[in-house]
Chain A
Amino acid sequence: MRLAEKKLELVLAATLLAPLLAFAIGPVVVLLVRSVASLRGEALLELLSADGRRATYNTLTISAGAAGVAFLVGAPLALLLERTDLAYRGVLRVLFTLPSAIPPFIWGMGWLALANPKAGLLNRVLGAGALDIYGPVGIAFVLGGAGLPLVLLAGTASLSRVDPALEEAARLSGAGPLRALLTVSLPLALPALGSGAVMVFLFSASAFGVPYILGVTASPPTVVLTTRIYGQVLLGGPDALARALSLSAVLLLLASVLLVAGQLLGRAGRVRLAAGKGVSRRPMPLGRYRSPLSVAAAVAAFVLVLLPLFAVFLTSVQKSYGAPLGLEHLTFAHWAGVLTSPRTLSAAGRSVLLAGAAGTLVCAFGLLVALSRKHFPLAGRAVDALASWPFAVPGTVMAMALLVAFSRDLRLVLFERVAFVLAMANTLWLVLAAYAAKYLVLGGSNLSESMAQVDPSLAEAARVSGASRARAFLDATLPSLRPALASAFVLAFLACATELTMSVLLVPTGKAVLGTLLFELQSYADPNAASVLACGFVLLVVLALGAMEAVRRSARRRAVGG
């Protein structure tokens, strides 16, 4: 390796590692050290206390239930959508993946409006008290539905990569179509489906909003680790903080175990890419089961996706929460009120600024990660792993870590003259750091993938034409990365603009962002107004993703046409 490259590697590694260490990795380490250090007295008591054990138990059972729901619905759906001639596959696929883009809190709001025991819409149809969404079962159900895309997408991706000849070979060996599907493709996709289910477990254990509105405010309350941590932080004081820290350590440990398990499963299930000539796979005809199965899938999509969204919308136009049904009880007053209130506008302004800044950071760091991955395989992979780790750290834990690490101002005095003061506690800067750290992986993975596909001879041609290394990158490589940059930015922007879990812990009072505003309105003040805001979130997400898909399609068409 030439000297210049070595130097570049050092510079890259330093620019990458310094902020990563300062804002993503370091605080979590501080949190672990502090929680171990305080593993005496109060903290230990918390772990052994009935409430702490109860919260841990609830987290485990609810997450397992959610993973089970997502697997039981997601695995058959993946088979039906990817491998059969089910009707309306395209629409169903979009509907079933929608939950991943919408904050889980909103699904909780929707189900609350549908199935709260007193005034839930479904209960009015089915009879009072027929359904009760409060409690562990309801939380697991809602989280399972919200996590469904994790199983579904893992399953369809893996099924679509199975070489069609594998199933054809089974047919020629005497197996019928169903048997070939179940004995060949399903076993090959099973590890991917399982890893998806583990990810749902992790997602559910990290969830805060859903267990909060469906658990904490219920009677009797159901408390999980994330909501108990939040409760302790609200309580304040050194004892409560120590309790919160030790619970965070438990949650972090759980998340790490799950992450490793999920990745091992995913690696085991890496299916050989279809080889040979591109014989397109014909979907398996369902025959006389096509209509009933299509109807069942459509009903599932309606119940799991459309119904909760509709309930949120209906709530937003009802005169009061739980008002009787009927046109005379509908009003757009909440919409007008929310959309013109200065609180909403200033929160929206803050969220847009924060999400825009976080998106930019994610793109910039993603680019650096991708570059280092490409040029320095070993160091790059390490940085990549470090950058994707914060995503797996539960939001509550990440927020706690930042709170602890930056609770006091950090001072660095040089030559007893120049002082750098980092005063981030109780500012939106800490929120920005949390957003950027958490969603760094969106930039890293998106850009690494697309950088690997850029033909290196593009940049080489520029070098030969007389461009410097940096110039060649800017002129030849970067333009090919534009779509990946755009999609990384949009995804990070959406995730941050609708973020709730970390925001409720980190956002200083009086500086509400959209996520905390939604949380406050729903839990304390005004569910109708909260529903208006939720509708806004859904519209924003659907429009942004739709626009992104349209751009991608037209780009693809241009590529094919040209």
Chain B
Amino acid sequence: MAGIELTDIHKSYGPTRVVQGLSLSIGQGEFLALLGPSGCGKTTTLRMIAGLEVPDSGTIAIDGRVVHGPGARVPPERRGLGMVFQSYAVWPHRTVAKNVEYPLRLMGLRRAEATARVREALGWVRMEALAERMPHALSGGQLQRVALARALVGRPRVLLLDEPLSNLDAALKEELRAEIAALRSRLGTTMVYVTHDQGEAMALADRIAVMDSGRLEQVDSPERLYSEPATPFVAGFVGGANLLGGESGAGCFFASGAKFELPPELSGAEGPGTLVVRPEDLEVGVGQGGTPLTLSARLFLGSSAEYRFPLGDRLLRAIGPPLEARPGETLPVRVRKGRLFRGSFPATKPGR
């Protein structure tokens, strides 16, 4: 039985279709990251699971109970979830302890019992010492810890996190990320984590659901997303790969007036397609038979260098050993490894 089951969810704001036919099942105890660029519908999806947004159609079930669907509409307070917000949402008129105590009081716990649980939850996030502080006397990282404790104190089966780290600086991000991972393995809570930061998603999640323009592009483990992206979008978003739209034939790929020789495993392809190549899989300057391209910029990165070549209306990025090269020079570029997707390149996306 799945922890959360979303079936054919649709949601529009006026004419804007935010989520289109999304189906997703999240396992018990799983850590799933919803990853995508801003405006892709990931936050809306999370808020629909929470009950803060209402889908236009589709079914949502949590722990086998339908919380939204034909004839069922469970309000957020009765879904038994915890949630952490991007803006922390720690109530400024209550102390840290009173913030964390609130859900327990609504569950009908006695004060003595609640106090013990509050202390335990504050212990999880190492905030016991600050229990009597008012929120305005806390830093951003401490506020988010309080929010975590408050979301977890009622021991929800599912914890929803909406870009919880995006208001924090880099060092704190790192620290809280480790803390979330530790809490998760200690409590075994199912977690759904919305982020636009692929590094965050890769480091934390068992599986990542990549979304774009309201649709699911791919749901897979971080490793498989990286090694076997299902769509050009996933390859571009997760791996930072170059996407080239064009036509293949006779062992070559033609894009924006340039002709690339394809590696042997791709050479059989024919017809229109999208060539996806990671920057480190483009060989610059060495070997023979490369495509001559004009260098527009060279960024020295220490042990390697990034080379940029204008191609049509986009830039081709390649990473390799640092060479003596100046912008304006023409260098041979060779595709060492890549993936080819069939069909024409989606140059213009609806709603973009």
Residues of A whose CB lies within 8 Å of any CB of B are 163, 165-166, 168-177, 179-180, 183-184, 187-188, 271-272, 274-277, 279
Contact A173 B106 (CB under 8 A): yes
16 interchain pairs (CB within 8 A)? A165-B86, A165-B88, A168-B76, A169-B91, A171-B75, A172-B77, A172-B83, A173-B77, A174-B106, A175-B102, A179-B106, A183-B102, A188-B93, A275-B87, A275-B167, A277-B86
Also in contact, A187 and B89, with CB within 8 A (given A168-B76, A174-B106, A176-B77): no
CA distance A170 to B88 in the complex (A): 12
CA distance A53 to B102 in the complex (A): 50
- B33 sits at the interface (CB 8 A): no
List the one stretch of B146-154, B239-247, B301-309, B318-326 in contact with chain A: B146-154
Contact residues in A for B167 (Cβ distance below 8 Å): 275-276
Contact of A176 among B75, B83, B89, B102 (CB under 8 A): B75
3 closest Cβ contacts across the A-B interface? Answer: A276-B87, A173-B103, A165-B89
Most buried by A among B76, B78, B90, B102: B76
Contact residues in A for B147 (Cβ distance below 8 Å): 169
Contact of B87 among A165, A170, A179, A180 (CB under 8 A): A165
Closest to A276 in B: B87
CA distance A547 to B180 in the complex (A): 55
The interface size of chain B toward A, counting residues with CB under 8 Å, comes to 32
- B43 sits at the interface (CB 8 A): yes
CA distance A271 to B90 in the complex (A): 13
Contact of A172 among B76, B87, B90, B92 (CB under 8 A): B76
Contact of B154 among A174, A177, A272 (CB under 8 A): A174
A281 CB to closest chain B CB (Å) equals: 11
Most buried by B among A172, A175, A187: A172
Contact A175 B106 (CB under 8 A): yes
Also in contact, A184 and B91, with CB within 8 A (given A169-B83, A171-B77): yes
- B1 sits at the interface (CB 8 A): no
CA distance A359 to B50 in the complex (A): 53
- B129 sits at the interface (CB 8 A): no
Closest to A167 in B: B89
Most buried by A among B82, B91, B147: B91
Closest to A163 in B: B87
Contact residues in B for A174 (Cβ distance below 8 Å): 77-78, 103, 106-107, 154
Contact A276 B77 (CB under 8 A): no
Contact A277 B43 (CB under 8 A): yes
Contact A175 B89 (CB under 8 A): no
Contact B52 A171 (CB under 8 A): yes
Contact residues in B for A166 (Cβ distance below 8 Å): 89, 91-92
Closest to A162 in B: B92
CA distance A165 to B150 in the complex (A): 14
B16 CB to closest chain A CB (Å) equals: 13
Q: How many A-B residue pairs have CB under 8 A?
A: 80
Closest to A177 in B: B75
In the complex, chain B residues 184-216 whose Cβ is within 8 Å of any chain A Cβ: none
Contact B87 A274 (CB under 8 A): yes
Contact A169 B150 (CB under 8 A): yes
In the complex, chain B residues 287-336 whose Cβ is within 8 Å of any chain A Cβ: none
Also in contact, A169 and B77, with CB within 8 A (given A174-B107, A174-B154, A277-B43): no
- B341 sits at the interface (CB 8 A): no
CA distance A187 to B93 in the complex (A): 7
Closest to A273 in B: B87
Contact B86 A172 (CB under 8 A): no
A186 CB to closest chain B CB (Å) equals: 10
Contact B102 A173 (CB under 8 A): yes
Closest to B13 in A: A280
- B40 sits at the interface (CB 8 A): no
Closest to B103 in A: A173
A280 CB to closest chain B CB (Å) equals: 9
B78 CB to closest chain A CB (Å) equals: 8
A174 CB to closest chain B CB (Å) equals: 4
CA distance A227 to B214 in the complex (A): 68
Contact residues in B for A187 (Cβ distance below 8 Å): 93
A269 CB to closest chain B CB (Å) equals: 10
CA distance A183 to B91 in the complex (A): 10
CA distance A462 to B92 in the complex (A): 44
- B85 sits at the interface (CB 8 A): yes
Closest to B151 in A: A172
In the complex, chain B residues 99-157 whose Cβ is within 8 Å of any chain A Cβ: 102-103, 106-107, 147, 150-151, 154
Contact residues in A for B90 (Cβ distance below 8 Å): 169
Contact residues in A for B47 (Cβ distance below 8 Å): 279
Contact B85 A188 (CB under 8 A): no
Contact B52 A169 (CB under 8 A): no
CA distance A163 to B86 in the complex (A): 11
Contact B106 A168 (CB under 8 A): no
- B81 sits at the interface (CB 8 A): yes
Contact residues in B for A169 (Cβ distance below 8 Å): 83, 85, 89-91, 147, 150
Contact B43 A172 (CB under 8 A): no
B167 CB to closest chain A CB (Å) equals: 7
Contact residues in B for A176 (Cβ distance below 8 Å): 75, 77
CA distance A374 to B99 in the complex (A): 39
In the complex, chain B residues 45-91 whose Cβ is within 8 Å of any chain A Cβ: 47, 50-52, 75-78, 81-83, 85-91
